Structure 1
């Protein structure tokens, strides 16, 4: 397909093309789970995405010679991340394309050039602004259903990336477990010792706790625990408040244990919920006219057999003191009572051995490997001020 046109999204019509393209691309695919269209639109709205206070985003759409949409991508420059990690990276996200090398090459070239124009030296992705945005291109297990927090893509995607000179930067994996009928003895023993020796206890939050600031404390703990991890950018208070308002109402308080010490300080949190994958597929990513019903049904009345272990965080000075055992000791009986049969984590860095080792008593399976790709894109044309900036940053 030689006649590929790449357009910057600048109009409502082009944004509609950007948002609706995956529905056509994945039509009939039983594993794809759509984003909520409203969430995608909000990503580009400064009033609803606090990350745009310190980031640039530019969406692009690819059209063929007949004006049909054949791909999309977004360029992202996160200034806070570049300052924190001392990098000059442009990120790409929201990447989707038909199985045509000319299309994928043109989309990535558009972001590469957009980044070069702004003095960037490398391109990396798929990533978002925040670590809690979807990140990592699926590189295996394409025959397993996705989730509301992860990327699904066809098997040809990584083939295109490698052919275009992109290399692995990091991989994430997910953990799948069958929920046991009883708490494994190791977890029960460690949980008991943690309570006795360190004064730790489980607390369940209610809406009043969240409204009175505990929701913000949870995300502040996530900032502290995740700060050293690859590419992480700390959330601002405004972004935290947006997340609290958007996501906490979806979670059953029973499935959100927090761990406190004997001073009432928050030292750990596990954010889990029932899977919304089936509901999102039925809703096709829209609340109207009947998408809201499928989501409400999954949240309140009849849920999937799968639980999502979205996030687990422990304050650094309490890591290794049995906090994770307290989570499992609390959650396994609840999952059984609510009739969940199996659970799956969000993506976890394959290099985070401490995080991955906590699952051993549950006979975990590693599934759905995802990859962040990276490529050097160089600097702007010789003699330009941006080239001088690149040379200065590299010296």
Structure 2
């Protein structure tokens, strides 16, 4: 007969390593799970290594039974999210949970109860999740698209988790979707006409970023992002410590021809970031850079050859968002990056997203280039 499930707080470096190791066992037989690099996964939950903790706090929990770790969860509070307008998802009294993995539903229920209790003790009145740990990282539970691996910076989950979460009283509040498109084919004629029209417009310049001016280019993109996304559900501005962390993490996979900035009359007004899918390179490493993983990854980074590129972020300044030019700039950037991805990286497929379910502008752009939804993620809420 199985023993009692015990929930305890993560308090030591050894505990954190145990927390990171659990999914490697739970997903050992899942061909679509991508083992994260353990060093990065550990950095995510270590306050000294993650700039998000400069405005947030978290409590991690482990579930144990019969001397084995059988589950994990995080409960966290983002002080910036508490200041955001309630109609945009967060706001006063809203905590979060995430990083949940469990062998069985009773383990999940015990973990979730511990996370809820901690959040209530911190004065929280409502909880959103799963969000792991910032909304800019891996928000939402995968509920469609289990049959293929996630791309870089996207999550994976077991199909049974959805039922467990909903039976714990969590209600769907927002869906996030990704779209995939065959980039070996030219886009439909209407898109080509819009692009050619933009190319004749002397006011428009679509340029590559210059990685040698990384900080300057990043500041331009961040300025557009904060303006373009500020009214979106779940928006929380990135802080300088987080920007620094993102720069360190992403700079190795920044390539000039895969990130474009659109200028109108010499002013930057839109951007599109595309990344080669590094998951294809790290999956065989099984989380470890030693003894030879680092060399393999370094070799790959010099000249990536991938099946898939991912578009994690695109933005157009608010003043243009309701204009025809907004979609024109988007189509131009998408087309130029499509050509570069195909010619210079061997990619045949692109994934766009995530896209909020109520972002009709981006969903329309995705559908116009004949992409199809391939994954859907669900964010839940519950009153505490």
Common fold: TM-score over 0.5: yes
Aligned partner of 2:376 among 357, 369, 373:
369
| Contact persistence 1:43–1:49 (CA under 8 A) | yes
Unaligned runs of at least 5 residues, structure 2: 86-90
| Contact persistence 1:4–1:62 (CA under 8 A) | yes
Deviation at 1:305, TM superposition (A): 1.3
* Residue correspondence of structure 1 range 189-208 to structure 2 within 5 A: 189-197=193-201, 199-208=203-212
Q: Which residue of 2 aligns with 1:346?
A: 353
**Residue 96 of structure 2: SS of its match in structure 1?**
strand
Structure 2 distance, partners of 1:206, 1:20, is 38
| Cα pair distance change 1:21/1:89, threshold 3 Å | same
Aligned partner of 2:222 among 209, 219, 222:
219
Structure 1 distance, partners of 2:178, 2:282, is 20
Deviation at 1:198, TM superposition (A): 6.9
Aligned partner of 1:267 among 260, 265, 269:
269
Structure 2 distance, partners of 1:73, 1:286, is 23
Q: Which residue of 1 aligns with 2:183?
A: 179
Higher share in strand = 2
Once the two structures are superposed, what CA deviation does each residue of 1:88-142 show, in whole Å capped at 9, x if it has no partner? 11101111111x2210001111110000001111111111453321111011221
* Residue correspondence of structure 1 range 228-267 to structure 2 within 5 A: 228-263=231-266, 265-267=267-269
Q: Which residue of 2 aligns with 1:78?
A: 78
How many corresponding residue pairs?
373
Q: Which moved more, 1:123-132 or 1:159-168?
A: 123-132
| Cα pair distance change 1:328/1:229, threshold 3 Å | same
Deviation at 1:332, TM superposition (A): 2.1
Q: Which residue of 2 aligns with 1:313?
A: 315
Q: Which moved more, 1:367-376 or 1:270-279?
A: 270-279
Structure 2 distance, partners of 1:302, 1:80, is 36
Q: TM-score if structure 2 supplies the norm length?
A: 0.92
Deviation at 1:185, TM superposition (A): 2.8
**Residue 245 of structure 2: SS of its match in structure 1?**
helix
Aligned partner of 2:120 among 109, 116, 119:
116
1:359 pairs with 2:366: yes
Q: Which residue of 2 aligns with 1:132?
A: 136
Q: Which moved more, 1:141-150 or 1:21-30?
A: 141-150
Structure 2 distance, partners of 1:214, 1:47, is 27
Unaligned runs of at least 5 residues, structure 1: 378-395
Q: Which moved more, 1:122-131 or 1:345-354?
A: 122-131
Q: Which residue of 1 aligns with 2:88?
A: none
| Contact persistence 2:276–2:304 (CA under 8 A) | no
| Cα pair distance change 1:5/1:102, threshold 3 Å | same
**Residue 124 of structure 2: SS of its match in structure 1?**
coil
Q: Which residue of 2 aligns with 1:97?
A: 102
| Cα pair distance change 1:176/1:292, threshold 3 Å | same
Runs of 4+ in structure 1 over 4 Å off: 195-198
